[in-house]
């Protein structure tokens, strides 16, 4: 399909931008069956839907000569300022040759200036629900002449609590208008909204059921919860993406991670609800012009961000559902470009993530977090490749250098040999790179080392046994027990010896030299009755796991001697057997039962 049947101004704008053929969603809205009908469209982020509804509207708006700017002919509603501004920019170049006036109304901008712009006349208004409702109630926004209303990312607007604003705006529009709803998902509230405000809507879906996003490679890495920040650093260092986006769940987490990355030497910016529009604009501009390479953001703040160089998305915190995962990941892999989305998964939550990926029909590859050694090896390869690309491997005149640079180079060669200069170059390159992190080994081999070989390590000649009130029945596993002990006891994995997991309890060793410090940290980090890891009871074990097992076996054998009637008719005392042992409160050492 070509763009020949569109108004000539639109076709010329598309040709100037290098559009050869429409994307699937653009082709779908231009089909004859979509002409003069309401549309409800499911399309992925980055699929070209802004240009799609711009094309669909143009066949009506530009069928005749475009009238002078007056009351708006089309209204586009978006959930966030960033998305509204992006939509406005897209429509501005698409309708630029037609001379259409585009007005943007979003929070964080001067409302007085927006009202004056509306009063002077416009053709298309793009805005956020709250600001549009405010202009409507103040009489600055006249919707009587609307021919089109577009709800972009309608599902997100309902999730953000804009239902009342949307209903008031839609109720003020003419009945004969056409309504387009664009959304990546179609939950029941969206269907209900469409049923109320659309007539005979054509349902269009361009989402591939077999995969989450054709141009995105999904990877998942399992880490200790204590190593999430270290995993972020190593992933950034390994990929060295031109632009990367990191997603956190809360603005506090955004603030903390952003500070940590800046401190480590990363050129990073932050986006969250606490930032003003001016701060957001500066952050986005820093990403676009290359002054910043990493953006740490919340889900809502990142809506509508479109940075051409963005090739890496890292889910620092697991998305709440498959839709959020796809919205986040859709920041990359746009307009035919390839992208990578990496989910950092705390080891205890890996099954939940697997289920979420299965529901989303996303084939993700489980990989290990890049190690410090692997990152340094890749750094060497990148440095050599960069130098060779500059021509330093041949007798050719390498880089285009001015006379001053050539003189400086000759002076260096007079004072130092080429080898020394090359070493200095490598050191300067490494000094500019943040240092990678060493992570806790979660591989099966690493777990075996923690269990079986610790007693042979230096410093474990004199050990103390501790116990936890969780065991195999509570899915205890060395791969997440080890980092839990490090967090609770403020020690390193090298200070934890053998680990023995029983049915309802787990025993482990620490060197006697760190016992006092370990016990003090446990008391400070414990919260009686808490449902998270701080509620797990960790205490000194009165006996070794072998002795506890022997005592348990004796109790089981003693259960065979049930109480028999005494001659005087009273009950004979007996030791509790297996059935009695199961009635004891979970968490007590068996030796104490």
Q: CATH number for the domain including 245?
A: 3.40.50.300
| 404 is a domain residue | no
Strand-by-strand arrangement of the 463-468 sheet = 499-501, 506-511, 463-468, 538-540
**Is a pLDDT exceeding 60 seen at residue 393?**
no
Structural domain for 566, as ranges: 548-592
pLDDT digits (tens, 9 = 90+) for 76-122: 999 888 889 889 999 999 999 999 999 999 987 899 999 999 999 99
236 and 361 in one domain? yes
In this structure, the answer to whether residues 39 and 129 fall within a common structural domain is yes
The token duo for 190 is: 């969206």
Q: At residue 395, does pLDDT exceed 50?
A: no
Judge if 31 and 148 occupy the same domain.
Answer: yes
Does 28 fall in a domain?
yes
pLDDT of the residue at 453: 39
pLDDT class of 1 with cuts at 50, 70, 90: low
| Lowest-confidence segment of 88-102, 341-355, 386-400, 498-512 by average pLDDT | 386-400
**Stretch 7-35: mean pLDDT, rounded?**
88
Lowest mean pLDDT among 1-5, 97-101, 124-128, 541-545: 1-5
Predicted local confidence at residue 254, as pLDDT: 92
The token pair at 511 is: 């060197």
Q: Pairing relation of β-strands 463-468 and 124-127?
A: unpaired
Mean pLDDT of 291-307: 80
pLDDT of 133 strictly over 80: yes
Does residue 566 register a pLDDT over 50?
Answer: no
Query: Which residues neighbour 212 within 8 Å (Cβ) at sequence distance 6 or greater?
Result: 218, 325, 326, 329, 360, 361, 362
Please state the pTM of the whole predicted model: 0.53
Band of residue 494 on the pLDDT scale cut at 50, 70, 90? confident
Q: pLDDT at position 363, please? A: 87
Over 80: is that where the pLDDT of 517 sits?
Answer: yes
Domain boundary residue, one of 342, 373, 404: 373
32/566: higher pLDDT: 32
Greater confidence (257 vs 391) lies with: 257
Q: Which residue has the higher pLDDT, 313 or 326?
A: 313
Out of 312-326, 363-377, 447-461, pick the least confident: 447-461
Domain shared by 19 and 146, yes or no: yes
The pair of three-digit structure tokens given for residue 97, joined into one six-digit string: 């040759």
| Mean pLDDT to the nearest integer, 142-152 | 95
Name the band, by pLDDT with cuts 50, 70 and 90, for residue 553: low
CB atoms within 10 A of CB 129: 24
Distance of CA 582 to CAs 574, 588, 590, Å? 16, 11, 10
Q: If you average pLDDT over residues 518-533, what whole number do you get?
A: 85
More confident: 323 or 112? 112
pLDDT of residue 581: 35
Total tally of structural domains belonging to the chain: 4
pLDDT at 138 over 80: yes
Query: Do 64 and 40 share a domain, yes or no?
Result: yes
With beta carbons less than 8 A apart as the criterion, state whether 54 and 94 touch.
yes
The total number of residues written for the chain in this structure: 593
Question: Residue 524 has what pLDDT?
Answer: 86
Residues 255 and 200 in one domain: no
Instruction: Indicate the pLDDT class of residue 540, thresholds 50, 70 and 90.
Output: very high
63 against 214, higher pLDDT: 63
pLDDT for 204 beyond 50 = yes
Sheet holding 39-42, edge to edge: 102-105, 124-127, 74-77, 148-152, 178-183, 39-42, 202-205
Q: Which residue in the block uniquely carries the two structure tokens 């609307």? A: 146
Pairing of strands 148-152, 74-77: parallel
Find the CATH number of the domain harbouring 499: 3.30.70
Strands (E), 325-430: 339-346, 365-366
Pairing mode of beta strands 499-501, 294-298: unpaired
State residue 584's pLDDT score: 37
Burial letters for 465-491: b for 16+ Cβ neighbours within 10 Å, e otherwise?
bbbbbbbeebebbbbbbbbbbbebbbb
Interval 413-471: pLDDT, tens: 888 888 888 788 777 777 778 888 877 655 444 443 333 433 345 567 788 999 999 88
Q: Please identify, among 373, 403, 425, the residue that sits at the C-terminal boundary of a domain.
A: 373
What pLDDT was estimated at residue 350? 84
* Range in 378-382, 408-412, 496-500, 574-578 the model is least confident about: 574-578
Show the tokens assigned to 86. Answer: 């992006």
Q: Flag whether 458 is in a domain.
A: yes
Query: Do the domain assignments include residue 409?
Result: no
pLDDT top residue among 274 and 243: 243
Q: Give me the percent of the chain exceeding a pLDDT of 70.
A: 83
> Is the sign of the CA dihedral 217, 222, 225, 227 positive or negative?
negative
Closest CA to 45 of 251, 310, 405: 310
DSSP string covering 437-467: ------SHHHHHHHHHSGGGSTT-SSEEEEE
CA distances (Å), origin 405, targets 383, 389, 408: 21, 19, 5
Instruction: Compute the distance between CA of residue 300 and CA of residue 320 in angstroms, rounded to an integer.
Output: 13
Lowest mean pLDDT among 141-150, 255-264, 555-564: 555-564
411 falls within a domain: no
The residue ranking higher by pLDDT, 512 or 531, is 512
The pLDDT assigned to 239 comes to 92
Q: Which residue in this structure is represented by tokens 């180079």?
A: 409
Range from 14-23, 350-359, 430-439, 571-580 carrying the lowest mean pLDDT: 571-580
pLDDT of residue 187: 76
Among 541, 564, 584, the domain-final residue is 541
**C-alpha dihedral sign at 186, 191, 194, 200:** positive
Give Cα 224 to chain centroid, integer Å: 17
Look at residue 396 and tell me if it is in a domain.
no
Amino acid 571: pLDDT:
40
Q: Is residue 428 part of a domain?
A: no
Query: Residue 299 has what pLDDT?
Result: 81
Looking at the structure, do residues 369 and 458 belong to the same domain, yes or no?
A: no
Residue 170's closest CA among 136, 203, 121? 136
Q: Torsion angle of alpha carbons 395, 399, 400, 405, nearest 10°?
A: -100
What stretches of 352-484 adopt beta strand conformation (E)? 365-366, 463-468
The larger pLDDT score, comparing residue 45 to residue 262, is at: 262
C-alpha–C-alpha distance, residues 163 and 190, integer Å: 10
Mean of pLDDT values over 55-65? 89
157 and 50 co-located in one domain = yes
pLDDT for residue 466? 94
Q: Contacts from 133-141 at CB under 8 Å and sequence distance 24+?
A: 133/165, 133/168, 133/169, 135/105, 135/111, 136/168, 136/169, 136/172, 140/114, 140/115, 141/72, 141/105
Statement to judge: residues 156 and 77 lie in one domain: yes
Query: Which pLDDT does position 573 carry in this prediction?
Result: 38
Q: How far apart are CA 306 and CA 339, in angstroms?
A: 13
pLDDT computed for residue 104 by the predictor: 96
Mean local confidence (pLDDT), 283-299:
89
Question: Are 230 and 361 in the same domain?
Answer: yes
Query: Are both 461 and 501 inside the same structural domain?
Result: yes
Give the pLDDT mean for 399-407: 69
Q: Do 526 and 571 belong to one domain?
A: no
Q: What is the pLDDT of residue 405?
A: 73
Is 15 a member of any domain? yes
């Amino acid at each position: 399909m070509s763009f020949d049947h569109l108004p000539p101004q639109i076709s010329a704008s598309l040709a100037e931008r290098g559009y050869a053929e429409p994307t699937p969603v653009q082709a779908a809205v231009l089909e004859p069956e979509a002409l003069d009908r309401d549309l409800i469209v499911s399309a992925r982020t980055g699929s070209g839907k802004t240009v799609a509804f711009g094309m669909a509207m143009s066949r009506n708006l530009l069928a005749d000569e475009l009238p002078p700017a007056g009351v708006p002919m089309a209204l586009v509603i978006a959930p966030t300022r960033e998305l509204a501004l992006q939509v406005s920019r897209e429509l501005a170049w698409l309708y630029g040759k037609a001379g259409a006036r585009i007005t943007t109304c979003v929070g964080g901008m001067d409302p007085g200036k927006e009202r004056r712009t509306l009063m002077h006349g416009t053709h298309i208004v793009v805005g956020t629900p709250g600001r549009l409702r405010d202009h409507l109630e103040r009489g600055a926004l006249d919707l009587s002449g609307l021919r089109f209303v577009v709800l972009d990312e309608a599902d997100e607007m309902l999730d953000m609590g804009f239902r009342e604003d949307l209903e008031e705006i839609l109720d003020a529009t003419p009945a004969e208008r056409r309504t387009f709803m664009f959304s990546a998902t179609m939950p029941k509230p969206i269907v209900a909204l469409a049923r109320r405000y659309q007539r005979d809507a054509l349902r269009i879906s361009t989402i591939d059921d077999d995969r989450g996003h054709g141009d995105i490679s999904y990877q998942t890495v399992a880490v200790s919860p204590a190593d999430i920040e270290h995993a972020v650093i190593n992933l950034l260092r390994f990929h060295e993406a031109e632009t990367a986006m990191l997603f956190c769940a809360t603005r506090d987490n955004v603030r903390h991670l952003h500070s940590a990355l800046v401190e480590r030497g990363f050129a990073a910016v932050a986006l969250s609800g606490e930032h003003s529009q001016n701060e957001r604009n500066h952050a986005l501009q820093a990403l676009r012009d290359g002054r910043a390479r990493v953006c740490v953001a919340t889900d809502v703040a990142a809506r509508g961000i479109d940075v051409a160089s963005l090739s890496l998305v890292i889910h620092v915190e697991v998305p709440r559902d498959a839709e959020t995962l796809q919205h986040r990941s859709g920041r990359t892999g746009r307009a035919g470009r390839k992208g990578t989305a990496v989910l950092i998964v705390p080891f205890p939550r890996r099954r939940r993530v697997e289920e979420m990926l299965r529901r989303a029909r996303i084939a993700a590859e489980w990989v290990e977090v890049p190690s410090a050694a692997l990152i340094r090896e890749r750094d060497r390869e990148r440095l050599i490749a960069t130098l060779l690309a500059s021509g330093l491997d041949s007798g050719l005149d390498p880089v285009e250098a001015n006379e001053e640079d050539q003189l400086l180079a000759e002076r260096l060669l007079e004072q130092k040999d080429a080898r020394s200069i090359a070493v200095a170059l490598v050191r300067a390159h490494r000094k500019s790179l943040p240092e990678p992190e060493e992570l806790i080994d979660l591989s099966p081999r690493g777990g075996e080392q923690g269990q079986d070989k610790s007693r042979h390590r230096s410093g474990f000649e004199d050990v103390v046994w501790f116990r936890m009130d969780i065991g195999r029945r509570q899915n205890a596993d060395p791969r997440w027990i080890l980092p839990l002990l490090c967090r609770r006891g403020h020690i390193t994995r090298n200070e934890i010896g053998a680990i023995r997991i029983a049915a309802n309890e787990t025993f482990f060793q620490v060197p006697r030299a760190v016992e006092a410090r370990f016990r003090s940290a446990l008391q400070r980090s414990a919260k009686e009755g808490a449902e998270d890891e701080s509620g797990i009871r960790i205490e000194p074990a009165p006996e070794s796991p072998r002795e506890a097992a022997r005592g348990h076996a004796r109790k089981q054998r003693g259960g065979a001697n049930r109480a028999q009637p005494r001659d005087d008719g009273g009950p004979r005392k007996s030791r509790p057997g297996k059935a009695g042992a199961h009635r004891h409160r979970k968490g007590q050492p068996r030796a104490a039962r």
